Amino acid sequence: MSKMLDFEVGDVVKTANNRQGTVRYIGPVTGKPDTWVGLELDGPEGKNNGIVQGERYFDCAPLHGIFTKVSDITQLIVSAAAPKTPSKPPKPVPRPAPGARPTATARPRPSSIGAARSPTKPPARTSTIGASKPPLQSRPSISQARSPALGARPSSQTSRPPSQTARPTSLVAAKTIQQPSAAPKRQSISGTGLGGLRTARKPSLSASSATSSIAAARPGGPAPTSSITSSKAPRDPALQAQETRLRQLEKQTADQNATIQELMPYKAKSEKHEALALKVSEKFKEAHTELQEAKRAASSAIAELEKAKEDFEINLEHAILDKETAEAERDELSDQNEMLEATIEELRLDKEIYEAEAEASLVVDEDMSDEQAHAVHVRKLQAENKRLRAVIIDFRDIDKERQGETKRLRLELEKTTEQAEESAKECTELSLKVAQHEDTITTLREQVDANNEWEEILEDVTQRANNLEEKNNRQEMEIRELENMNEVSTETIAEYVEFTNDLQAESSMRETELAEMTRELEQERIQNAQKDATLAKYSEAFAEFQNQLQDQDMQQLMTEEKAQGMSDKFNKMMDLHRTLQADRAKDTAKTIDNELTKLSEKEAREELEVMKYYLPENSEEYIDNSLRTYFRAKKIAFKASLISSLLTTLDPLTNEGPEKILTNVFRYDTMYHLDYIRSHGEHFVAALTHCTLEQYRKAVSEYEDISVVETTIERTLDALKRDDFNMKDLSGSIRGTDKIMRGITSVSQRISDARPDDELILHTSLLRSSLERIRASFDAVKQYTQLVADFEPESEDQLDALVDRLRKPQTAALECIAVVTKLSQALATLQSDDLYPQFPNGVQEVGELSDMLVVFADKAHEFAGQVIAFDANDDDETPSVDIDELTSAVDAAMKVFAPKNIGDLFKDIKSTLTHWNEYASILNNTAEIERLPAPWVVRAQEIKASKKHAIDSEKKLQLLTAEHQSTLIQIREREEIIDTKELEIEHLRAKHKEAVSKTENLDQLQRELQEAKTELTSYKREIEKQKEEIDDLRKHAENSHLAPTTLPPTSPKEKATPTTAVEKATQEKDISGSFAVFVQALRQENHWLRQRGHKKAFAHIGEVLPPLRKRQDERVKLAKATELLEMAWSLHGSTEGSEGYGRMSRGKRKTVSKHGGVKGSVRIFDPEVMGVDDLCFADLEVVGEGVEGLLAGMMG
């Protein structure tokens, strides 16, 4: 590697691809490793304007900036920090023309014809026709070696430094270092040009003649000019050629400028696409980040919603549990209520018992006096009066309390009703809002689902964008490769055009030389004919001389002088023989060279035509790919045909005898194998010409085998040129090559399965070769038989019969060869018209016959080898074989060759070939050939399609980019809508919570309202009942007040009349007073025991009944009430009755106080009752029922 240069910003440097510019930036580049150098070029040959991926590194004009690695800087031309020398100003750097590659060196190019010679030292041309080929990369590229303009000074040229590296493309060879004192030497055309891509180019006649006529140039001394070159290449045509070449180069420069101008918009578009792709990626990242945030927010909102649902469910479960607990408590309270009702029932029974006891105590017996009875009645009335007064007072208090409570409850009920109505309205509104919120939640869930779909779409778009970005990168790489290929192809085409012009010029010169050589060859042929005639004469003379020598040896009469003369003649004849053999070798070598030159020219033209369609990407592919295999197969077929034709005209300079016959046998065997190689080579070439691109690429595997075959053919040609070969060894070598070619045949047959016309032509060619081999084998046996047969005059007929027997297969083979030749011509004519015959059994029938004849040809060769038994190393004369032995040997060999009659065999073959020929001549039996385009044409179409696809991909990328932008906008709009809906969801969730709480409050209020309504209804019923009871009590009070005043004077009978139902029952039963007192005592004791037993059960009755007002000094009040009652009774009774009643009252109070409960519940006297003037007397049962109803209403 070259040493790293030290440069800085402002220096003028040169890169590895010959670009010259000013350093504007040194440092890293975003997205790329290593250190990069930003250059500002002089012309629009760059790729950008100092901006890479949207970031500016330096300022310059569009398409004037380029970034390259530090290792690609190969030369420092002008340093900004270097001091200037005042004595010698720096030379201005030439500004390259637009479209041309800027170079700091004017490199001379060798001219093809009549190049201008240097005044100091002319170019030395030393290559000859038989010279070996130079190694690869030896000939400088035409695009790198340019000829200087006429009148240019050598001193103005600058040599290229040795540290400069070669171009990265393998099509351009390494440049050579030129010395300013001497012009570059012209390389031989036979050298490998274009980095080993071109075929061998032969030197012109002027070069070979100049080499032969001009001495080698010595160092430092002037070399004489070539007389032939100066005579055949005058200066004026050379100048014209240079001017023509200059015009061609100017035209090429203009074309390159136009091409660069066409590529400039594509480069701008590429930069624009890169910037757009960067923006798209940034926006995509932002959108992806926003989307992730939105997803996180949505997930948190969903989590909160789920949490709220869970809280709601938990609260609902708690409410259900509370409801169940309340129901359980209600059941318990109902059980307690039932217990209380049972207790009240017991109290009612106790009350009845007490009342019965009281009635029993107040029963007037018959034994009582009137005063006692009157006192009992007074006590009864006093007790009833007290009871009624207490009840009236209680009822009044209860009525007041109930009225206040009713008013309060009415107000609360009205408020509750209003609140219930408002709550009902709110509940209705909330239910509507709940329904709306449910719809909104459903809509939001759908939007969330749609958002997920959009997310999937975004992921798809993201993936598509990534794919498109990767595709865009690949397309950019392909575009760069195509640009490089375009540059390389432009240079290569220019080189090929120049090479073609050189070839055309050289071809014209070669045609002239060929015409001269043809004329000389004709003269040499005439001379050779004369020499052959002379040689024949000398051969006859030599034969006569040998006969004479034999005769003289036998007679031993030769003198020494005659022997010396005969030896001189023999030596002269041998010298003439060697001279003729050398001339024949020269003619053969010239013929081979001329044919190979024609092949090279033809191959160069065809290769140029192929290159117009398809240019490989690198030299390795060009050397090793199927195109090289195609040309090698074509060379092998041509060279095999050339060797076969040379061997056909070759006449071995040997004596007539078995040796010549054996040589002919090996010669025909070699020709047979060469025909086989030629036929399969042509078939392989035809198969590659019309195969698919995939099959064409698979043909690379046969490159090595074909190279082995080509090497053998080349050695055979070299041996023929040197006239140094042995026919037997040559036959063995070609036979081995034939075996290799048979292996390649399977590949070509697989490729050409769809081309039966090529298969038919191949098999007919093999049929002709096999028949020719059979004919040659029988001809050799026949000649050998005629030569070595030893027979008596009487056995001459036997010899003629044997010869005739051998002549018949030869004649039959010739007839078959004539028919096969007609069939081959017919097939070639049909193929030229894109037709081929469809035989009944197809191509397989022809192939089977061809394989059978190949076997017969091998047996015929063995047959000839068995019959011709000749040892070339034996110095004896021509051997003689007895005719009988020869006949038996031929019979034995014929049995090996063909067990049945040979005539019938060839007759069947001839009839089959004739039938095929007639069948092929009928157009109805033919079918059209479906020709496929050449693989290189298909490859060219693929390249064109790929370019078109790249353009279409750019358009699709633009459309997808626009769609991506619109999708991003829609996603942002959707995200804004989602944010708005999320806020609405939060607001609605808060409202929903409020509505739930209000609904719960509303349910509670409705329950309370229902309870209040139930209580109000019960209160109303109680009030109505109380009013009715009060009215009844008032009526009873009025009636009881009026009753005493209307009674008549009492008498004993009348006194006993107004009794109660109890008294009547007591009177009826006739119960005594002592028994009644005893029963009353038992009842009181029973009641006391019951109260003591149920004291705890009746302890909360005071809490259930309305609270009664208490007085501080209850004794005083009772005393006042007692006095008031005594004063009231004093108005209607005596003092004794009052005292008795007072005692009874005191006893009664004691009894009531003793039992508890009743004392605090029933007040007999109330000082506040001042509006009652008279005592009320009523039936105790009615008052008791009223009190019991009041208690039942309070408990209910």
pLDDT of 994 over the 80 cut:
yes
**1068, part of any domain:** yes
The span from the CA of 871 to the CA of 849, in Å, is: 36
Q: Hey, which residues does 29 pair with through a beta bridge?
A: 32
Q: Hey, which residues does 881 pair with through a beta bridge?
A: 789
- Residue 672 has a pLDDT of 87
- Residue 83 has a pLDDT of 44
Find the range with the poorest average confidence among 467-476, 1002-1011, 1016-1025, 1096-1105. Answer: 1096-1105
- Residue 164 has a pLDDT of 37
H or E, element range at 20 = strand 20-29
pLDDT band at 22 (very low <50, low <70, confident <90, very high): very high
Find the range with the poorest average confidence among 214-218, 235-239, 611-615, 884-888. Answer: 214-218
If asked whether residues 1093 and 1129 sit together in one domain, one would say yes
- Residue 900 has a pLDDT of 63
pLDDT band at 256 (very low <50, low <70, confident <90, very high): confident
**722, part of any domain:** yes
pLDDT of 9 over the 80 cut:
yes
If asked whether residues 713 and 860 sit together in one domain, one would say no
Last residue of a domain, one of 865, 894, 928: 928
pLDDT of 634 over the 80 cut:
yes
Structural domain containing residue 780: 768-928
- Residue 145 has a pLDDT of 35
CA 5 to chain centre: 44
- Residue 1051 has a pLDDT of 42
The model's pTM is 0.38
Q: If we measure between CA atoms, which residue out of 594, 675, 674, 685 comes closest to residue 631?
A: 685
Contact 201, 193 (CB under 8 A): yes
- Residue 1147 has a pLDDT of 42
Q: If we measure between CA atoms, which residue out of 202, 203, 194, 204 comes closest to residue 136?
A: 194
- Residue 728 has a pLDDT of 81
pLDDT band at 1132 (very low <50, low <70, confident <90, very high): very low
pLDDT digits (tens, 9 = 90+) for 843-855: 888 888 888 888 8
Q: What is the mean pLDDT of residues 593-616?
A: 77
Q: Rounded to the nearest 5°, which phi and psi values hold at 121?
A: -150, 120
The span from the CA of 1087 to the CA of 1074, in Å, is: 20
pLDDT digits (tens, 9 = 90+) for 670-706: 888 888 888 888 888 887 777 777 777 776 666 566 7
The single-letter DSSP state of residue 863 is H
* Better-predicted residue by pLDDT, 70 or 1138: 70
If asked whether residues 680 and 801 sit together in one domain, one would say no
CA 153 to chain centre: 61
**216, part of any domain:** no
The single-letter DSSP state of residue 753 is G
Q: If we measure between CA atoms, which residue out of 1085, 1062, 1084 comes closest to residue 363?
A: 1062
pLDDT of 249 over the 80 cut:
yes
pLDDT band at 1178 (very low <50, low <70, confident <90, very high): very low
Q: What is the mean pLDDT of residues 215-234?
A: 37
Q: If we measure between CA atoms, which residue out of 695, 685, 834, 682 comes closest to residue 761?
A: 682
Helices (runs of H) and strands (runs of E) counted in the chain? 25, 11
Which domain CATH number covers 18?
2.30.30.190
Q: What is the mean pLDDT of residues 310-334?
A: 83
Could you tell me the two tokens for 57?
């590194």
If asked whether residues 635 and 703 sit together in one domain, one would say yes
Q: What is the mean pLDDT of residues 268-296?
A: 79
**994, part of any domain:** no
If asked whether residues 773 and 917 sit together in one domain, one would say yes
pLDDT band at 106 (very low <50, low <70, confident <90, very high): very low
The span from the CA of 825 to the CA of 902, in Å, is: 27
Could you tell me the two tokens for 754?
């769809």
**1172, part of any domain:** yes
* Better-predicted residue by pLDDT, 493 or 801: 801
- Order the strands of the 12-15 sheet from edge to edge: 65-69, 32-41, 20-29, 12-15, 73-78
H or E, element range at 311 = helix 235-361
Q: Rounded to the nearest 5°, which phi and psi values hold at 12?
A: -100, 120
Find the range with the poorest average confidence among 217-231, 443-457, 833-847, 1095-1109. Answer: 217-231
H or E, element range at 1007 = helix 935-1042
**621, part of any domain:** yes
The span from the CA of 130 to the CA of 128, in Å, is: 6
Q: Hey, which residues does 836 pair with through a beta bridge?
A: 927
DSSP collapsed to 3 states, 680-728? HHHHHHHHHHCCCHHHHHHHHHHHHHHHHHHHHHHHHHHHHHHCCCCHH
Query: Which residues have CB under 8 Å from 347's CB, separation 6+?
Result: 1098
Could you tell me the two tokens for 558?
């030769």
By the 10 Å C-beta count (0-12 exposed, 13-18 middle, 19+ buried), 47 is classed as middle
pLDDT of 1053 over the 50 cut:
no
- Residue 754 has a pLDDT of 53
| Burial letters 205-232, b for 16+ CB under 10 A, else e | bbbbbbbeebeeeeeeeeeeebebbeeb
Contact 600, 200 (CB under 8 A): yes
The span from the CA of 107 to the CA of 173, in Å, is: 14
If asked whether residues 732 and 865 sit together in one domain, one would say no
pLDDT digits (tens, 9 = 90+) for 499-540: 677 767 776 776 777 777 777 777 777 777 776 677 667 667
Average pLDDT, the chain: 69
- Residue 397 has a pLDDT of 82
Q: What is the mean pLDDT of residues 326-340?
A: 84
pLDDT of 438 over the 70 cut:
yes
Q: How many domains does the chain have?
A: 4
pLDDT digits (tens, 9 = 90+) for 343-367: 888 888 877 887 777 666 666 666 7
If asked whether residues 786 and 921 sit together in one domain, one would say yes
Q: What is the mean pLDDT of residues 573-596?
A: 79
Could you tell me the two tokens for 460?
């798809």
pLDDT digits (tens, 9 = 90+) for 121-132: 333 333 333 333
**171, part of any domain:** no
- Residue 76 has a pLDDT of 86
Task: Report CA dihedral (796, 801, 802, 805) to the nearest 10 degrees.
Answer: 160
pLDDT digits (tens, 9 = 90+) for 116-161: 333 333 333 333 333 333 333 333 333 333 333 333 333 333 334 3
Find the range with the poorest average confidence among 71-85, 200-214, 396-410, 1123-1137. Answer: 200-214
Q: What is the mean pLDDT of residues 887-892?
A: 76
The span from the CA of 863 to the CA of 867, in Å, is: 6
Q: If we measure between CA atoms, which residue out of 408, 419, 53, 111 comes closest to residue 235?
A: 111
If asked whether residues 638 and 696 sit together in one domain, one would say yes
Last residue of a domain, one of 104, 125, 148: 104
Find the range with the poorest average confidence among 73-82, 310-319, 334-343, 817-826. Answer: 73-82
pLDDT of 595 over the 80 cut:
yes
The span from the CA of 731 to the CA of 722, in Å, is: 17
pLDDT of 450 over the 50 cut:
yes
597 SS3 class: helix
pLDDT of 1070 over the 80 cut:
no
- Residue 1018 has a pLDDT of 85
Q: If we measure between CA atoms, which residue out of 194, 255, 274, 256 comes closest to residue 479?
A: 274
If asked whether residues 782 and 674 sit together in one domain, one would say no
Contact 83, 102 (CB under 8 A): no
Contact 817, 772 (CB under 8 A): yes
H or E, element range at 263 = helix 235-361
If asked whether residues 794 and 848 sit together in one domain, one would say yes
pLDDT digits (tens, 9 = 90+) for 749-798: 555 555 777 788 888 888 988 898 888 888 888 888 877 765 556 566 77
Last residue of a domain, one of 725, 755, 785: 755
pLDDT of 812 over the 80 cut:
yes
Q: CA 917, 919, 921, 926 torsion: positive or negative?
A: negative
If asked whether residues 703 and 845 sit together in one domain, one would say no
- Residue 23 has a pLDDT of 92
Q: What is the mean pLDDT of residues 930-947?
A: 76
Q: Rounded to the nearest 5°, which phi and psi values hold at 67?
A: -110, 135
Q: If we measure between CA atoms, which residue out of 1000, 997, 1002 comes closest to residue 422?
A: 1002
pLDDT of 600 over the 70 cut:
yes
The span from the CA of 598 to the CA of 538, in Å, is: 38
If asked whether residues 749 and 781 sit together in one domain, one would say no
**1165, part of any domain:** yes
| Strongest mean pLDDT among 360-374, 976-990, 1160-1174 | 976-990
Q: Rounded to the nearest 5°, which phi and psi values hold at 692?
A: -75, 165
